[in-house]
Structure 1
Amino acid sequence: MPSIRASRFRSIAAVSAAAAVLVIPACGGGEQPELHSRVDIPGSAHVAPHWDYDAEGPDHWADLDRDYLACKSGHQQSPIDLPSHARLEPSEHITVDYHSVPELALVNNGHTVQANLPADNGNRIVVDGTPFDLAQFHFHLPSEHTVDGAGATMEVHFVHKSAAGKSAVLGVLMQATPDPSAFDPILAFAPQAVDAEITVTGPVDLRALLPGVVDQFRYQGSLTTPPCSEGVSWTVLGNPVPVAAADADRYRTLFAHSNRPTQPLNGRTVTLAGG
């Protein structure tokens, strides 16, 4: 049974430094740490501006910064509404190679609760023969992807990176249940304060966070948060996993909603492979 070590609080500078090493911009996720308003000083590094899901929400992200223009002008944006009648392509099936990890570092980054994994943790997915190593996973409420217009209570995004620097995200829909779930040791101890970190000591079995049947929707998309960069290989599992209603409610007290609306498909192909 995973256990919890004491919370640690870090400065915004420290969080940003750690994110540069450990965190792939979330797909979601990159869910990047909370950042301050842009300051342009000659010779200084560009600082990305603050964004959120409310006043400076998805409809306004592209207006906040030149680096966020893809959020409005991109043609392969995520998330999308997944059609259950997607073309069946068995050859498109990806391999998910997950196992237990000794610990997770849970961080409240101001946008989501993110679980950072130890380096060289050995968890990965293989997409079209290319391995992508798992770096972190994080949550959205309600779900970002929908199936035939219907969403789920939450969604978890497992964010991976290849040796060439490409990103691949595995999305799993989460449906509320009155019973406990495999997410309890994670969501029950989600840090309350922004920039707070809590270490969950395991082992934590990542396979328990996936459905038993891994039917897969696949398409090419983007990060679901600024800068909304495209070229992300997306796989969303067709079967939801349970999440305790109490855990979803607890997460909702931290982030009332943390989802980008679905984006136009713009002629993209969505394929479906059986598990």
Structure 2
Amino acid sequence: MNPSARSPRRATLLAVVLASTITLGACSAVDGDKPKPPAGASAKPDQDKSGKPAAHWSYEGAEGPDKWGDLGHGFGTCTTGREQSPIDLTPGTAQKKPAAITVDYKPAPVKLENNGHTIQANVPAGSRITVDGAPYELQQFHFHLPSEHTVQGKGTTMELHFVHKNAQGRLAVLGVLMEEKPGTSAFAALWKSLPDREGRTVQTAQAVDLNKLLPAQRAGYQYAGSLTTPPCSEGVKWTVLKETVAVSPDEAAAYRKLFPKSNRPVQPQHDREVLVSDPQS
């Protein structure tokens, strides 16, 4: 028998092995386009820290904000928490002195990531805010549309959140309300690089001056709150600046095309105080 000849059975087996190899290669390519889990998270994006399948959540429908607490996997605080964010920012009459806050942001390139819920900008070390003398390092900033916080019942076109963490792992968020206005905005350079598909990242070629994304006046509303996305963890120090910044109509439309709705509705204030801070630079 010719050693180079193959029986029909061997030919069939070879075809199956070859097809399996091609299929695995295709899965690897798809998985490689998914965002990497953050530090401390499960190595697999479809699992939580305990190794269980991660709960999917959304801003609308059966997995929308009013259902987050029922999705399991540590999301219960979204329903049972008493210090949830966002809220309507209506200052009370309390005489308590607000925390002094200073901003120290450094120009730097950022990596924009489409994580399926928002555009998140991951930043290098070096930028921080100081809250009553305690430093909080900037971790990332991201956007919501429309705004999550309201002021006396009125929202804005979008909202920007700068997320900071101190040495003990506690969070402080600086919120910036974005109002749609004609003309060129400080966000123009970022909008040129928005990743248009979940899992994609884009590194900005030039350094971004984060200070230009803030209003000139730094007076703001302060209160004790939470993350505005699952697991809705509490203990977050919130400052939402009173003065708005401009976003152009074209920029708002481009973001709305990616994420038509990406805001959690306002939550009950309960007995929390809303304080108003003085302008700081």
TM-score w.r.t. the length of structure 1 is: 0.84
Residues in 1 aligned to 2:254 and 2:121: alpha-carbon distance in whole angstroms: 16
Q: How does 1:163-202 map to 2 (within 5 A)?
A: 163-202=167-206
Aligned to 1:77: 84
Aligned residues: 248
CA deviations over 1:117-163 (Å, ceiling 9, x no partner): 12x2x110111221100010000000000000000000000001101
Aligned to 2:36: 16
Aligned to 1:26: none
Conserved? CA contact 2:91–2:275, under 8 Å: no
Conserved? CA contact 1:10–1:196, under 8 Å: no
More strand by share: 1
CA deviations over 1:54-86 (Å, ceiling 9, x no partner): 121100111111400000000000000001556
List 4+ stretches of structure 1 deviating above 4 A.
Answer: 84-91
Q: How does 1:140-155 map to 2 (within 5 A)?
A: 140-155=144-159
Aligned to 2:220: 216
- Residues 109/222 of structure 1: CA separation in 2 closer, same or farther (3 Å cut): same
What root-mean-square deviation, in Å, do the aligned CA atoms of Structure 1 and Structure 2 show? Answer: 2.4
Paired amino acid for 2:85: S
Residues in 1 aligned to 2:102 and 2:84: alpha-carbon distance in whole angstroms: 24
CA deviations over 1:188-227 (Å, ceiling 9, x no partner): 3211110001111222111000000111111110000000
Residues in 1 aligned to 2:105 and 2:147: alpha-carbon distance in whole angstroms: 22
Paired amino acid for 1:50: H
- RCO higher in structure (CA 8 A, sep ≥6): 1
Q: How does 1:16-95 map to 2 (within 5 A)?
A: 16-17=36-37, 19-20=38-39, 36=46, 45-55=51-61, 56-84=63-91, 87=94, 91-95=98-102
Indicate the larger mover: 79-88 or 221-230. 79-88
Q: Which has the higher Rg, Structure 1 or Structure 2?
A: 2
- Residues 135/252 of structure 1: CA separation in 2 closer, same or farther (3 Å cut): same
Structure 1 unpaired stretches of 5+: 1-8, 24-33
Q: Deviation at 1:96?
A: 1.1
Q: Percent of aligned pairs with the same residue?
A: 48
TM-score w.r.t. the length of structure 2 is: 0.82
- Residues 10/251 of structure 1: CA separation in 2 closer, same or farther (3 Å cut): farther
Q: 2:276 aligns with which of 264, 267, 272?
A: 272
